[in-house]
Amino acid sequence: MNNEKFVEVKNLRKVYDNGYEAIKNVSFSVKKGDLVCLLGPSGCGKTTILNMLAGLLFPTSGDILFDGKSVVKTEPKDRQIGYVFQNYALYPHMTVLQNVMFPLTVGKNKKSKEEAEKVARKYMDLTQITEFANQKPGSLSGGQQQRVAIARALVQEPKILLMDEPLSNLDARLRLKIREEIRALVKKVGITTLFVTHDQEEALSIGDEIILFNDGVIQQDDLGQNFYLEPNNYFVANFVGNPVIDNFKVEIKDGKVIGSDFELNLDDFDNSRFKREISDGQYILSVRPENIQPDENGHFEAEIKDVELIGRERILKFDHEAVQTRSLVNLEVPIKAGDKVALKMRLDRVFLFTPEGERVY
């Protein structure tokens, strides 16, 4: 058994019939029992990948291996996959119990009615929907219906669970609760799970690991914190982080980083963080808002336009190079709109990107 690469995707491509290349040479692997998030903006190819894993869509080229064996020529029903679709797709005329039992009452692995009910009830207990057994889905809340869909995906005891934006129809509070439940459940059952979302916070909170896509290409495949602390490129730095990262156009010349109203010395940057030799030219200096703080020895001065409270912290908004820029400060910092503030960037935490988005620092 290949536990390290329980699911392996190799050089996968998908060109749709209209010629559109939705997936461009994608390779990744998932460890047995891991919960991996596929994250990315709408249209980046997340569902296309799940559909190829499930066998609903045939790859243009490349390979998909489960436990070391290629499955691209295997029928969906023989892949031992559970799939929770975005719209729960429950049968409205059946009760919750009948919905959950359904996969066990059809096809070649059909069980006796008694046996099917026993297994169904086990997963209904795990997903806490036993009390709704005799109700129709229409009388349940979104979160309850979601749990029915999960129980139905689990009854065949699949080896791999695919979930496509399963929480997108729920309100914020319920999303938090159900994502914790999903994580606890998949860890308890020990099932290898690919969870699709376009919500970075959801991915960070639920995933053992995250694969971030854009435009059919993997941008970063990593542990959650690294998307924040060590983004691979400009896209990743800007996709992950709330409030979003601040970006300043700078010119690097003769060892100086020159912005519209600040000048930094490259010597003051952390030498160990340079990815390569930097030649003079145009770059983007990107700073997470908590790494720009009011400081008497600030790099530049700005007038605070607006102050927004978010929980324990406040966002100071100001215009810099005519773009809205943010500083994330502690609630106690006594600054109000209209104040002129000197602001300092943490140079050991900033990033430098080329105009093409390559990270050089």
Ligand X SMILES: Nc1ncnc2c1ncn2[C@@H]1O[C@H](COP(=O)(O)OP(=O)(O)OP(=O)(O)O)[C@@H](O)[C@H]1O
**Cβ 87 to ligand X, closest distance in Å?**
11
Asked if 18 is part of the footprint of ligand X (rule: CB under 6 A), the reply reads: yes
Q: DSSP secondary structure string, 80-91?
A: -EEEE-SS----
CB of residue 47 to Mg ion, shortest distance in Å: 3
Strand partners, 210: 37, 222
Choose between 52 and 186: whose C-beta lies nearer to ligand X: 52
Residue 149 and residue 123 in contact, taking contact as beta carbons nearer than 8 Å = no
How do beta strands 292-294 and 340-345 pair?
antiparallel
The entry of Mg ion, ligand X, none near residue 48 (CB within 5 to 8 angstroms by kind) is: ligand X
For the bound state, the minimum distance from the C-beta of residue 42 to ligand X, rounded and expressed in Å, comes to 3
Long-range CB pairs of 173-182 (<8 Å, 24+ gap) are 174/141, 174/142, 174/143, 175/202, 177/143, 178/143, 178/146, 178/147, 179/205, 179/206, 181/127, 181/128, 181/147, 182/150, 182/206
Q: Does 212 bind ligand X (CB under 6 A)?
A: no
Task: Provide the β-strand partners of residue 184.
Answer: none
> Which of ligand X, Mg ion, none has residue 206 at its interface (CB below 5 to 8 Å by kind)?
none
Distance CA 31, CA 50 (A): 17
Written as six digits, the tokens of 270 are 């952390």
CB closer to Mg ion, 47 vs 291: 47
68 binds, among Mg ion, ligand X, none (CB under 5 to 8 A by kind): none
- Cα–Cα distances in Å, from 5 out to 8, 66, 164, 212, 282? 6, 8, 21, 19, 41
Rule CB under 6 A: is residue 22 a binding residue for ligand X?
yes
| 83 versus 283: smaller Cβ distance to Mg ion | 83
Number of residues interacting with ligand X: please give it, by CB under 6 A.
13
Q: Does 198 bind ligand X (CB under 6 A)?
A: yes
Which member of 47, 145, 156, 200 binds Mg ion (CB under 5 A)?
47
**318 close to 204: Cβ distance less than 8 angstroms:** no
Residue of 4, 11, 27, 43 that binds ligand X (CB under 6 A)? 43
Q: What does residue 314 show for φ and ψ, rounded to 5 degrees?
A: -130, 145
- Among 45, 59, 82, 241, which residue interacts with ligand X (rule: CB under 6 A)? 45
Residue with Cβ nearer Mg ion (48 or 220): 48
Site residues (CB under 5 A) for Mg ion?
A: 47
Site residues (CB under 6 A) for ligand X?
A: 16, 18, 20, 22, 40, 42-48, 198
